[in-house]
């Protein structure tokens, strides 16, 4: 029998592969889907997105450029007093195509989770939630 830690790695890789397969069906990557979700939640500048994704600016910029090239987001230049001398900041929002892609991927995400957990009891689901929250909290403390 595999250890908890080994199973955690296997589950993580398998779940990521299943998400990638579904994202590809709607012409997204998992990272792009997560960015779309964050933008809708109000994290609409590079600074806010960088803080919430732990991505460096160049990686984040490339991902936003890909979303822009796919015509899924709108980019608006923000002009403020402090940005007059430096490079102006941009605000991002989803256009109709971006919202449609996000909705499709969210639906695929829900369908996947229903398939995975369809035979789980509420008690098992709650126990997993508690343990994963504890694990996530500990990982954040270590980081």
Q: What pTM, to 2 d.p., does this model score?
A: 0.85
79 and 122 in a single domain? The answer is no
89 and 127 in a single domain? The answer is no
Number of separate domains in the chain: 2
- Residue 86 in this model has a pLDDT that exceeds 70: no
Percentage of the residues of the chain whose pLDDT score is greater than 90? 82
91 and 25 in a single domain? The answer is yes
120 and 82 in a single domain? The answer is no
Where in the sequence is the domain holding 18, given as residue range(s)? 12-97
- Per-residue HEC secondary structure of the chain comes to CCCHHHHHHHHHHHHHHHHHHHHHHCCCCHHHHHHHHHHHCCCCEHHHHHHHHCCCHHHHHHHHHHHHHCCCEEEEEECCHHHCCCCCEEEEEECHHHHHHHHHHHHHHHHHHHHHHCCCCHHHHHHHHHHHHHHHHHHHHHC
77 and 124 in a single domain? The answer is no
pLDDT digits (tens, 9 = 90+) for 4-56: 999 999 999 999 999 999 999 999 999 999 999 999 999 999 989 999 998 88
- Residue 81 in this model has a pLDDT that exceeds 70: no
pLDDT bracket for residue 73 (50, 70, 90): very high
20 and 84 in a single domain? The answer is yes
24 and 51 in a single domain? The answer is yes
30 and 84 in a single domain? The answer is yes
Q: Is residue 104 part of a domain?
A: no
62 and 121 in a single domain? The answer is no
* Structure-token pair, residue 104: 């499709």
Q: Give the Cβ contact number of residue 51 at 10 Å.
A: 11
Report the CATH number that the domain containing residue 37 is assigned in CATH: 1.10.10.10
């Amino acid at each position: 029998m595999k250890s908890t830690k080994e199973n955690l790695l296997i589950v993580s890789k398998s779940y990521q592969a299943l998400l990638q397969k579904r994202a590809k069906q709607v012409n997204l990557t998992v990272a792009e889907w997560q960015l779309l979700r964050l933008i809708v939640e109000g994290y609409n500048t590079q600074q806010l997105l960088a803080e919430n994704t732990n991505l460096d600016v160049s990686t984040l910029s490339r991902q936003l450029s890909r979303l822009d090239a796919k015509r899924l987001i709108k980019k608006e230049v923000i002009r403020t007093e402090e940005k007059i001398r430096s490079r102006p900041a941009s605000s991002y929002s989803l256009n109709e195509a971006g919202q449609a892609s996000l909705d499709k991927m969210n639906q695929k995400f829900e369908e996947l989770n229903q398939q995975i957990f369809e035979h789980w009891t509420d008690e098992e689901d709650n126990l997993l939630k508690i343990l994963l929250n504890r694990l996530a909290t500990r990982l954040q403390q270590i980081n």
